[in-house]
């Protein structure tokens, strides 16, 4: 059970949050081709290393936020684009 | 209207341990008002407390900073109209009476920390969670809002949850209290 | 039986004034408080405690502590109890495990005669083929001989298991001198401390030491128990260390539960488990009477048990030397002391039920009933491995040492090096201080980051450097195996010969060898066996120990019962404000997600008919309800629903369906506009939580510029659907300030009013059942009053409650689909028949590109109304629709019921588009294999497809 640093609540057990996955920018639905759209839906980098991901503070402040997490070590740092 | 009885989701009366180390009481009938407002609104300024802390207003209402830009006001039963009227409503402000939507219990006594440690993963030591602290977390797998609200001589917490979980949660907390001397009535079962 | 109890020892743990009665394999025995099961039996002269797993050879005491592989016993209905550490309790019923028919006459010993068939890899090689024999024969026979006790899963008498959370700054794993000293200095530095010891009392090896050791121990204990900041948990084990110092502690013998799992978030973890004494590998090393030095020292000093009468001691270290003195003081005749440091050795122990003679390295044969070995130590580095360390082998000290640890994990005591008691406690104290300092810095940060905690009054404690003087590494001979072969793994009956054979077969990596031979895979998880196994492999491969590596130690450190992992089971249940009434009035309940709700009140068909004929009430509180406020609600609705919302007027409600970004139908419901900037959205019961989180996601991350506040009000509003031709008449009797006439309150409208004296009730007119119906949302604290008023004021109208089953019948008659039942994880909008609802020309909608793509496809399944040609047959839901002459699947029945209105069976089904035209005959395969024909209907609705009944 890792500790996720919620920017509002402070450090919390990950069971208090929901991992909403690697951040994937949403293409403009008006102009995106189906291929681009499906890349957004299904394709992720999934590196063994640093990933920018979204968490939802389900049992706490109920805010979505992003952090950077090293998937190999679970080291966590603030996201530059949070 | 006012003569109508408020029916709580919890049928049980107060429970307490013989030694006085712990007591659990249903206080679901208290008035509860949820305020959502930007920090720059008059309501936000008026309520003052920030997320995580609480204060007692002069009229007796307990103002809890329950989330960023969100407050919960707690008061005696039947105070809904007064509480709603007490808030400035300029700007983008939402005020919802959630009296009927939340069950609420008061857990008091020296053994509260021991009881809550069985059902909740939050660190309740005095420096992390002093009197006045407002926080949320899972209690017996139900998301709850909690306020540490010590009584004159007793450590005390207000625990509230979505109303429909009320009967279950009261029984689950009572069950956790049994280690500390509360005789749990047979009809309060979580299994 | 002869007594082996010695005169009083100053260090003994037993209370001789007590007398505890217990049974061992049915015979009565007596022991004292403070005895372990094993010590009480050994004092009474019992020598054989178990049988080996494969060859069923007799086994006696080896280590006389928690790790003893020969002391697993059954106590009452609890299997696998460690008799080496479990304290005796009056009335215990203890019996041997893994023996049949008895410990004395064990048929399994016949395995010895076929020993060569049970050699390494036997299971893998033998029971492969023929495959059908696995279930019919092999499994049944093997189970008879499987190790482990009897699990009494039907009549558990263990009571509740328990769990709790903890947040100590410092957790010390191990209550020996170093661990206790670390706990004390951490507490002095201001940290909260949890001190965990697996034996029932603190002290580690000091407990069986001399007067100086006992004096130090008394001081340490006194200090610990008078320090409030230290929580001491004895008879408890740290079973695992996980990411971010999440530490699992198994607390045994707790007063409220047999075992309790503590989940601790720890600032600093101090690993101080001491050392585990290693057995020596030689022929006959499993014969009762072969014991480790620590075992005889504990038996003599802690429990005053004489372990034998004539002893041979093989000593490579001071523990062996001390054992010689202890044996002499206990009146045991020490026949010979063989000094391994001088190259002396033991090659074989002989004897049947007990050692009778010992052959030495120089060929002497000594008559003895006790052979004591002191050949070195294993560092139980499990917790360090779990923290990412890969300990390295030191040839000079003949054991493994930590290599690199993260800042929040520190090691002290024997696992870190050797020293006198003074040196060990000094190292412990320095370690405790360092651990506390690091933990207090973390606590400071946590306080600063946590809004409920006021800012810390003091500055962040300064970091201090790790200036501990390392404990020395005393030289120790590499004593692993004699010139003969013996057991390496006592639990799994794996010998050094087996390991060499495995290496010869190519399993020459320690990780492969472990899995092939099962060495180290028994209950001890390698505490006694790992290093000997590595040594034998190194020998077989003719390489250095350091080049072998060790297997990775994973959690748990010690076996954990499943009951402890399950703990107290919390399964939240949701109840509407009317649920007590339902239960008092004959409801049969149904668990729908977390909600308990009435399935029916006795006769669902009659309940459904009553709705069609008169008026019924159903409690639909579980419907998700979200209060939406703000100027941008319509924009939000336009985004999340497939249809348009900008023109919904105040006082009107509208049906909406949602799809996810992949175009799959995700939820649906009705949303009403209560006031200019105030809406009430309903969702499916099961989707309420997900829809709420989804709305917050879009509002927070996609359109933070929109002003919308979402508040869930599901339980706060009790929802009562009043349905049936006489529903208006009933409501008119109770509603005060709302005109319910058809003109003033048309279909798909919403009003707020007073019902039965209760203000702020939201009433909307919709029709899931297909009848004239009103859904009344009542503040829950007054819901019971409204429900009872509706019943008591409508008895002349035939009002009656109806449950979920009746509602399912009614909605199926009406052809309303249910998301998740009639649609699935692949169903796109066209399948659900949303063609008329979806607007593809909006600027944005969740899943818009997929919606557009879906409507260009012609191959998607189609949801249709379906009626079996034999009206008496109700195909089960999920029955497949197949091609008549083959097994080609062309669809499935998604919902089916007998219709009381039509008196025939009715269905909804997803079918291949080629079968979707009205009048098409399809073949349905029933569960019993029969095939029936059914006809596709023109509408989803079987009853009143025009909707005349609800628009009155």
* B127 in A contact zone (CB under 8 Å): no
Largest CA distance in chain B: 52
B30: contact with C, CB 8 A cutoff: no
**What burial class does residue A26 get, using C-beta atoms within 10 Å of its C-beta: 0-12 exposed, 13-18 middle, 19+ buried?**
middle
Q: Is the pLDDT of residue C248 over 80?
A: yes
| pLDDT in the model for residue C114 | 57
Query: Is there a contact between C193 and C231 (Cβ–Cβ < 8 Å)?
Result: yes
pLDDT higher than threshold 80 for residue C134:
no
How much is the average pLDDT of C525-554?
A: 89
DSSP tally for chain A: helices H, then strands E: 1, 6
Q: Confirm if C872 and C684 have CB atoms less than 8 A apart.
A: no
Mark yes or no for CB contact A16/B137 under 8 Å: yes
Q: Is B8 on the interface with A (CB under 8 A)?
A: no
- C130 cis-preceded (ω within 30 degrees of 0): yes
As a dihedral over the C-alpha atoms of residue B36, residue B38, residue B44, residue B48, rounded to 10 degrees, the angle is 100
User: In degrees rounded to 5, what are phi and psi of residue C773?
Assistant: -155, 150
CA distance C436 to C421: 22
Rounded-to-integer distance, Cα C400 and Cα C417, Å = 10
Predicted confidence at residue C553, as pLDDT, reads 84
pLDDT at A82 over 50: no
Could you identify the residue written with the tokens 């360390």?
Answer: C389
Which residues touch C686 (CB under 8 Å, ≥6 apart)? Answer: C592, C593, C820
Answer yes or no: is pLDDT of A35 > 80: yes
Which chain C residues touch B134 with a CB distance below 8 Å?
452
Query: Does residue C141 register a pLDDT over 70?
Result: no
- Tens of pLDDT, residue by residue over C637-655, are 999 999 999 999 999 999 9
Closest CA to B162 of C697, C717, C699: C717
Which chains does C contact via 3+ CB–CB distances below 8 A? A, B
Candidate from B113-127, B153-167, C144-158 with smallest mean pLDDT: C144-158
Report the pLDDT value the prediction gives residue C55, as an integer from 0 to 100: 81
| Percent of chain C surpassing pLDDT 90 | 84
pLDDT for the residue C568: 80
pLDDT at B48: 87
Q: Is the peptide bond before C101 cis (omega within 30 degrees of 0)?
A: yes
Total tally of structural domains belonging to chain A: 1
Apex C818 CA angle, C817 and C819, nearest 5: 120
Q: Is A44 on the interface with C (CB under 8 A)?
A: no
Residue C333 has pLDDT above 60, yes or no: yes
- Please determine, for residue B191, whether its predicted confidence score (pLDDT) is greater than 60: no
> Which residues of C fall within a CB distance of 8 Å from B125?
167, 192
Q: Is the pLDDT of residue C119 over 70?
A: no
* Of C350, C335, C175, nearest in space to C271 by CA: C175
Cα–Cα distance for residue pair C646/C649, rounded to 1 Å: 9
Give pLDDT, residue C548.
Answer: 87
Rounded (10°) angle between helices C496-504 and C530-541? 50
**What is the rounded CA–CA span in Å between residue C475 and residue C399?**
10
**Where residue A78 falls among pLDDT bands split at 50, 70, 90?**
confident
In the predicted model, is pLDDT for residue C148 greater than 90? no
Is residue C41 classed as helix, strand or coil in its secondary structure? Answer: helix
Cβ proximity of C872 and C896 under 8 Å: no
CB C924 within 8 Å of CB C880 = yes
User: C71, C83 in Cβ contact below 8 A?
Assistant: yes
Measured CA distances, B132 to B127, C454, C457 (Å): 12, 10, 17
What CATH fold (topology level) applies to the domain B31-97? Alpha-Beta Plaits (3.30.70)
Say if residue C362 is exposed, middle or buried (CB neighbours under 10 Å; 0-12, 13-18, 19+).
exposed
B138:A60 CB<8 A: no
Rounded CA separation C370/C355 (Å): 6
What distance in Å separates the CA atoms of residue C401 and residue C546, rounded to the nearest whole number? 11
The pLDDT of residue C279 is: 97
Residue with tokens 């195909």: C875
End-to-end CA distance of chain C: 95
Q: Which of B40-49, B112-121, C280-289 has the lowest average pLDDT?
A: B40-49
Residue C291 has pLDDT above 60, yes or no: yes
Residue with the larger pLDDT of the pair B159 and C54: B159
Rounded to whole angstroms, the Cα distance separating C711 from C692 reads: 8
How confident is the model over C347-369, as a mean pLDDT?
96
Give the residue from A64, A65, A72, A75 with the most C CB atoms within 10 Å of its CB, the best one to mutate: A64
**Residue to substitute from C570, C620, C736, interface B, most B β-carbons within 10 A:** C570
Q: State in words which class domain B24-29+101-180 has.
A: alpha beta
pLDDT digits (tens, 9 = 90+) for C437-466: 999 999 999 999 999 998 888 899 999 999
Q: Does C57 touch chain B (CB under 8 A)?
A: no
Decide if A3 touches C, using CB distance below 8 A: yes
- For CA atoms C184, C189, C192, C194, the dihedral sign is negative
pLDDT of C61 above 70: yes
Q: Which domains does chain C have, with CATH numbers?
A: 1-153 (3.10.20.440), 162-275+381-449 (3.50.50.60), 279-375 (3.50.50.60), 480-570 (1.10.10), 585-631+665-811 (3.30.1360.120), 861-952 (2.40.30.110)
Which residues is C399 bridged to in the sheet? C394
Strand pairing class (C290-292; C370-374): parallel
Interface of C with A in 22-81 (CB under 8 A): none
- Print the domain residue range for A32: 3-78
Distance CA(C111)–CA(C181), nearest Å, equals 50
A5, A22, A26, A29: best mutation site toward chain C, by most C Cβ within 10 Å?
A: A29
- What tens digit of pLDDT does each residue of C780-832 get? 999 999 999 999 999 999 999 999 999 999 999 999 999 999 999 999 999 99
Q: Give the distance from residue B148's alpha carbon to the nearest chain A alpha carbon, in angstroms.
A: 16
- How far, in Å, are A61, C98, C919 from residue C529 at the CA level? 50, 21, 75
Domain extent listing, chain B? 24-29+101-180, 31-97
Contact present, C741 and C734 (Cβ < 8 Å): no
Least confident of C227-241, C481-495, C557-571, C700-714: C557-571
Section C322-337 average pLDDT: 98
Answer whether C187's CB lies under 8 Å from C224's CB: no
Report the distance separating Cα C249 and Cα C264, nearest Å.
Answer: 7
Contact C757 B11 (CB under 8 A): no
- Residue C143 confidence class, pLDDT cut points 50, 70, 90: low
If you measure CA to CA, which chain B residue comes closest to C447?
B128
A61 to chain C: closest CA residue: C451
What kind and span of H or E run contains C346?
Answer: strand C346-350
CA of C446 vs chain B CAs: smallest distance (Å): 8
Considering CB atoms only, which of A5, A8, A74 is closest to C243? Answer: A74
* Digit-coded pLDDT (tens) for C472-502: 999 999 999 999 999 999 988 999 999 999 9
Q: What is the pLDDT of residue C142?
A: 63
Q: Which two tokens stand for residue C407?
A: 């800042």
For residues C593 and C590, give the distance between their C-alpha atoms in angstroms, rounded to a whole number.
Answer: 9
- Contact call for B96 and C779, based on CB within 8 A: no
User: Residues of A with CB below 8 A from B137's CB?
Assistant: 16, 59-60
Mean pLDDT of C222-237: 97
DSSP C782: G
* Cα C148 off chain centre by: 21
B176-180, C113-117, C279-283, C726-730: least confident range: C113-117
Mean pLDDT of chain C: 93
Residues C587-625 pLDDT 10s: 999 999 999 999 999 999 999 999 999 999 999 999 999
> Measured between CB atoms, does A5 come within 8 Å of chain C?
yes
Q: Is B36 on the interface with A (CB under 8 A)?
A: no
**Is pLDDT above 80 for C117?**
no
pLDDT band of residue C115 (cuts 50, 70, 90) is: low
- Partners of chain B (3+ Cβ pairs below 8 A): A, C
The model's pLDDT over C868-903, given as tens digits with 9 standing for 90+, comes to 999 999 999 999 999 999 999 999 999 999 999 999
Question: What per-residue confidence (pLDDT) applies to B40?
Answer: 80
CATH code (residue A18): 3.30.2270.10
Confidence band for B189, pLDDT divided at 50, 70 and 90 = confident
Distances (CA, A) of C248 to B60, C240, C264, C374, C561: 44, 5, 6, 32, 13
Q: Which residues in chain B are contacts of C263 at CB distance < 8 A? A: 121
Kindly list the residues from chain B whose CB atom is less than 8 angstroms away from the CB atom of residue A13: 121
* Helix axis angle, C496-504 to C510-517, nearest 10°: 120
B-chain CB neighbours of C784 within 8 Å are 7
So what's the pLDDT on residue B17?
Answer: 95
Contacts 24+ apart (CB under 8 A), C461-466: C461/C437, C463/C437, C463/C438, C464/C433, C464/C434, C464/C437, C466/C434
Q: How confident is the model at residue C1 (pLDDT cuts 50, 70, 90)?
A: very low
Interface of A with C in 12-31 (CB under 8 A): 13, 18, 20, 26, 29-30
Distance from CA of B38 to the nearest CA of C (A): 10
Q: How far is B109 from chain C (nearest CA, A)?
A: 19
Predicted confidence (pLDDT) at residue C105 exceeds the cutoff of 70: no
Name, in order, each residue with C-beta under 8 angstroms of C106's C-beta and a sequence gap of 6 or more. C51, C56, C99, C100
Q: CA-to-CA distance for C87 and C94, rounded, in angstroms?
A: 12
Instruction: pLDDT band for C33, please (50, 70, 90 cuts).
Output: very high
- Chain A contact probe: residue of B51, B71, B137 with most A CBs at under 10 A: B137
Q: Can you tell me the distance from the alpha carbon of C556 to that of C382, in angstroms, rounded to the nearest whole number?
A: 9
Mean pLDDT, residues C755-777: 95
Per-residue pLDDT band for C132 (boundaries 50, 70, 90) equals: low
Using a CB-CB cut-off of 8 Å, the residues of chain A touching C699 are none
Q: How many helices (H) and strands (E) does chain C have?
A: 22, 48
Res C100 pLDDT > 90: no
């Amino acid at each position: 059970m890792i500790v996720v640093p919620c920017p509002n609540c402070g450090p919390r057990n990950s069971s208090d949050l929901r991992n909403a996955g690697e951040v994937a920018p949403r293409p403009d639905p008006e102009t995106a081709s189906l291929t681009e759209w499906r890349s957004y839906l299904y394709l992720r980098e999934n590196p063994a290393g640093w990933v920018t991901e979204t968490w939802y503070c389900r049992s706490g402040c109920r805010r979505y936020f992003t952090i950077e997490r090293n998937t190999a070590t679970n080291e966590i740092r603030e996201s530059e684009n949070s | 209207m006012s003569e109508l009885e408020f029916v709580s989701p919890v049928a049980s009366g107060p429970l307490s341990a013989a030694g006085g180390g712990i007591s659990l009481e249903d206080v679901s009938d208290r008035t509860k008002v949820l305020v959502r407002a930007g920090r720059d609104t008059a309501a936000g300024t008026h309520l003052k407390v920030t997320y995580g802390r609480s204060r007692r207003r002069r009229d007796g209402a307990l103002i809890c900073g329950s989330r960023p830009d969100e407050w919960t006001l707690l008061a005696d039963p039947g105070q809904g109209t007064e509480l709603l009227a007490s808030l400035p409503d300029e700007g983008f402000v939402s005020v919802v009476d959630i009296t009927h939507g939340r069950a609420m219990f008061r857990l008091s006594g020296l053994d509260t920390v021991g009881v809550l440690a069985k059902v909740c993963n939050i660190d309740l030591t005095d420096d992390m969670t002093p009197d006045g602290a407002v926080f949320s977390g899972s209690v017996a797998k139900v998301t709850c809002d909690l306020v540490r609200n010590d009584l004159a001589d007793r450590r005390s917490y207000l625990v509230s949850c979505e109303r429909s979980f009320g009967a279950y949660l009261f029984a689950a907390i009572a069950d956790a209290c049994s280690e500390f001397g509360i005789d749990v009535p047979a009809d309060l079962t979580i299994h | 039986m002869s007594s082996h109890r010695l005169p009083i020892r100053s260090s003994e743990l037993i209370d001789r004034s007590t007398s505890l009665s217990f049974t061992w394999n049915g015979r009565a025995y007596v022991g004292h408080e403070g005895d372990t099961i094993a010590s009480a039996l050994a004092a009474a002269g019992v020598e054989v405690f178990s049988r080996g797993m494969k060859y069923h050879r007799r086994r006696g005491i080896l280590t006389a502590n928690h790790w003893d592989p020969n002391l697993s016993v059954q106590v009452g209905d609890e299997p696998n109890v460690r008799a080496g550490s479990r304290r005796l309790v009056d009335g215990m019923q203890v019996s041997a495990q893994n023996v049949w028919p008895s410990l004395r006459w064990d048929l399994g010993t016949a395995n010895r005669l076929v020993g060569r068939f049970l050699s390494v890899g036997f299971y893998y090689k033998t029971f492969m083929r023929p495959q059908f024999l696995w279930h019919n024969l092999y499994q049944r026979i093997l189970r008879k001989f499987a190790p482990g006790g009897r699990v009494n899963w039907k009549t558990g008498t263990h009571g509740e298991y328990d769990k709790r959370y903890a947040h100590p700054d410092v957790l010390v794993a191990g209550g020996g001198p170093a661990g206790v000293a670390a706990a004390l200095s951490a507490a002095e530095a201001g940290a909260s401390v949890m001190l965990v010891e697996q034996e029932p009392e603190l002290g580690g090896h000091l407990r069986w030491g001399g007067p100086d050791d006992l004096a130090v121990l008394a001081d340490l204990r006194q200090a610990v128990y008078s320090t409030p900041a230290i929580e001491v948990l004895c008879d408890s084990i740290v079973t695992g260390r996980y990411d971010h110092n999440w530490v699992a502690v198994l607390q045994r013998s707790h007063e409220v539960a047999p075992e309790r799992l503590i989940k601790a978030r720890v600032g600093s973890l101090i690993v101080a488990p001491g050392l585990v004494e290693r057995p020596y590998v030689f022929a006959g090393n499993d014969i009762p009477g072969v014991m480790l030095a620590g075992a005889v020292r504990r038996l003599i000093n802690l429990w005053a048990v004489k372990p034998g009468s004539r002893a041979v001691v093989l000593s490579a270290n001071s523990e062996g030397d001390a054992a010689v003195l202890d044996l002499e003081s206990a009146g045991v005749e020490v026949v010979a002391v063989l000094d391994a440091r001088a190259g002396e050795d033991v090659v074989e122990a002989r004897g049947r039920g007990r050692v009778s003679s010992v052959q030495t390295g120089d060929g002497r044969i000594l008559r003895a009933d006790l052979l004591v070995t002191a050949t070195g130590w294993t560092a139980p580095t499990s917790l360090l491995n779990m923290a990412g360390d890969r300990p390295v082998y030191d040839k000079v000290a003949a054991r493994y040492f930590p290599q690199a640890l993260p800042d929040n994990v520190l090691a002290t005591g024997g696992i870190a090096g050797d020293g006198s008691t003074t040196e060990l406690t000094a190292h412990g104290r320095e370690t405790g201080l360092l651990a506390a300092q690091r933990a207090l810095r973390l606590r400071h940060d946590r306080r600063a980051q946590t809004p409920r905690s006021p800012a810390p009054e003091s500055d962040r404690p300064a970091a201090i450097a790790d200036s501990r003087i390392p404990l020395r590494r005393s030289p120790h001979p590499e004593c692993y195996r004699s010139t003969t072969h013996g057991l390496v793994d006592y639990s799994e009956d794996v010998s050094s010969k087996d390991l060499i054979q495995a290496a010869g077969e190519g399993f020459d990596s320690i990780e492969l060898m472990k899995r092939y031979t099962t060495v180290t895979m028994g209950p001890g998880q390698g505490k006694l066996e790992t290093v000997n196994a590595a040594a034998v492999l190194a020998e077989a491969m003719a390489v250095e120990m350091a080049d072998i590596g060790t297997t990775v130690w994973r959690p748990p450190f010690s076996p954990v019962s499943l009951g402890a992992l399950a703990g107290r089971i919390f399964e939240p249940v949701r109840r509407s404000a009317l649920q007590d009434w339902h239960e008092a009035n004959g409801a049969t309940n149904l668990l729908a997600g977390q909600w308990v709700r009435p399935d029916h009140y006795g006769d669902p068909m009659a309940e459904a008919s009553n709705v069609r004929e008169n008026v019924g009430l159903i409690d639909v509180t579980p419907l998700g309800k979200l209060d939406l406020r703000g100027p941008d609600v319509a924009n939000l609705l336009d985004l999340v629903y497939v249809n348009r919302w900008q023109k919904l007027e105040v006082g009107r409600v509208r049906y909406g369906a949602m799809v996810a970004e992949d175009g799959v139908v995700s939820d649906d419901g009705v949303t009403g506009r209560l006031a200019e900037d105030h809406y009430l959205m309903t969702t499916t019961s099961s989707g309420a939580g997900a829809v709420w989180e989804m709305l917050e996601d879009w509002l927070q991350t996609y359109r933070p510029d929109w002003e919308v506040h979402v508040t869930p009000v599901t339980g706060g509003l009790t929802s009562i659907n009043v349905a049936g031709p006489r529903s208006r008449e009933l409501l008119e009797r109770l509603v005060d300030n709302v005109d319910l006439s058809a003109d003033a309150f048309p279909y798909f409208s919403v009003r707020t009013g007073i019902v039965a004296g209760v203000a702020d009730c939201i009433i909307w007119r919709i029709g899931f059942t297909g009848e004239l119906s009103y859904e009344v949302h009542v503040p829950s604290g007054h819901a019971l009053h409204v429900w009872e008023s509706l019943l008591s004021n409508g008895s002349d109208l035939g009002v009656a409650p109806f449950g979920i089953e009746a509602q399912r019948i009614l909605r199926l008659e009406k052809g309303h689909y249910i998301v998740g039942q009639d649609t699935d994880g692949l169903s796109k909008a066209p399948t659900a028949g949303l063609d008329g609802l979806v607007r593809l020309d909006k600027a944005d909608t969740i899943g818009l590109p997929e919606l557009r793509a879906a409507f260009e496809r012609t191959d998607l399944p189609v949801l249709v109304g379906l009626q079996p040609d034999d009206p008496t047959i109700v195909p089960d839901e999920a029955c497949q629709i197949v091609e008549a002459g083959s097994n080609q699947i062309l669809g499935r029945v998604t919902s089916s019921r007998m219709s009381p209105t039509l008196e025939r069976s009715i269905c909804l089904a997803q079918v291949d588009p080629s079968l979707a035209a009205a009048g098409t005959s399809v073949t349905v395969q029933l569960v019993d294999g029969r095939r029936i024909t059914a006809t596709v209907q023109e509408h989803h609705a079987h009853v009143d497809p025009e909707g005349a009944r609800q628009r009155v």
